Amino acid sequence: MSILAQNKFLLSSRSHVNPCSTPTPRRVVYCIANTTVNGVGTSSKHGDGQLVIEREVISPSPLTSVNSSTYYSVLNDPSLRSTWSHRAWVAGGCTTVLISLAKSIVGAASSRIWLEPALAALVGYILADLGSGIYHWGIDNYGGASTPIFGTQIEAFQGHHKWPWTITKRQFANNLYALARAVTFAVLPVSLAFDDPTLHGFVGVCSGCIMFSQQFHAWAHGKKSEIPPLVVAMQDAGLLVSRTQHATHHRPPYNNNYCIVSGIWNQLLDETKVFEALEMILYFKLGLRPRSWTEPNSEWTEETEILEQTTAH
């Protein structure tokens, strides 16, 4: 899934699903003491006094496929195309980031102090990945289309789970403009008001990684043969989130591997169950149930692209 807004693409009613793929209900019981919770329904007390959460889980049906007519309707869908407004925001975001990076380099050169700006840039790169994961987790699990400010993004993420391959068909500026707009407003004042090379080393790299996280995300959904060799090398080296790592996020139970810049935080966050602990806190304090406790359902059952049908034309 993505870290910024995409228009939710509703596939044509002509998309084909397998009529034999019938979800199978099963009962799963989770003990809160483990904090590994995938669903919430009724709660009761276990024999040893531990609170137990139960629910009926509908096992996801096998991946369904999109036929060729639907595929070509995606390619021609105007919501995937870049507009001049999109391009202007991306140009503005890139300019703002470049100004910050230039100030860092010029300041470091004039002061002959390179270590601090370089370390600040590294910290910015690392924290950008963590920030992408926290944001991704939040909009994946809470809110809806009517949520103020973030509603469009939340709705788009739900569509992305069902049709993840459409992100690879989205044009560059269309994919990046929303984050580029946010970066422009956030970073431009910093770029104009400060000259500290260490500050700009952090701000430039962090904001640049956040702005381009949607492109990193798109590459994580791309086929290796269609991705630039340098990008593939960076994915294999762990500098960008890999296709294999992100693919796990699109498989049940859809509650892991949220980070989409480099993915370096994913293993730690998943093994320590940080997000599950936050979900429990929000549930007991505010009564908010994350979608990961009740998914997967038909809205998140992935429909895949059929290469054989599309390449035959």
Asked if the structure places residue 135 within a domain, the reply is yes
Give the range with max mean pLDDT: 4-13, 69-78, 140-149. Answer: 140-149
pLDDT tens for 157-167 read 666 767 777 88
Structural domain of residue 285, as residue ranges?
Answer: 84-293
pLDDT at 26: 43
Q: 59-68, 80-89, 168-177 — which is least confidently predicted?
A: 59-68
Q: Which amino acid, residue 287?
A: G
Asked if the structure places residue 270 within a domain, the reply is yes
Asked if the structure places residue 35 within a domain, the reply is no
pLDDT at 78: 77
Q: Are 258 and 133 in contact (CB under 8 A)?
A: yes
pLDDT at 283: 94
Q: Is the pLDDT of residue 183 over 80?
A: yes
When pLDDT is averaged across residues 248-263 and rounded to a whole number, the result is 89
The three-state DSSP-derived secondary structure of the chain is CCCCCCCCCCCCCCCCCCCCCCCCEEEEEEEHHHCCCCCCCEEEECCCCCEEEEEEEECCCCCEEECHHHHHHHHCCHHHCCCHHHHHHHHHHHHHHHHHHHHHHHHHHHHCCCHHHHHHHHHHHHHHHHHHHHHHHHHHHCCCCCCCCCHHHHHHHHHHHHCHHHHHHCCHHHHHHHHHHHHHHHHHHHHHHCCCHHHHHHHHHHHHHHHCHHHHHHHHHCCHHHCCHHHHHHHHHCCCCCHHHHHHHCCCCCCCCCCCCCCCCHHHHHHCCHHHHHHHHHHHHHCCCCHHHCCCCHHHCCEEECHHHHHCC
Asked if the structure places residue 66 within a domain, the reply is no
pLDDT at 152: 75
Asked if the structure places residue 7 within a domain, the reply is no
Asked if the structure places residue 309 within a domain, the reply is no
Kindly state the percentage of the chain with pLDDT values over 90: 47
Task: Give me the number of domains the chain comprises.
Answer: 1
Q: 5-9, 124-128, 144-148, 189-193 — which is least confidently predicted?
A: 5-9
When pLDDT is averaged across residues 92-111 and rounded to a whole number, the result is 96
Asked if the structure places residue 63 within a domain, the reply is no
Give the range with max mean pLDDT: 33-37, 278-282, 306-310. Answer: 278-282
When pLDDT is averaged across residues 111-116 and rounded to a whole number, the result is 93
Higher per-residue pLDDT: 304 or 228 = 228
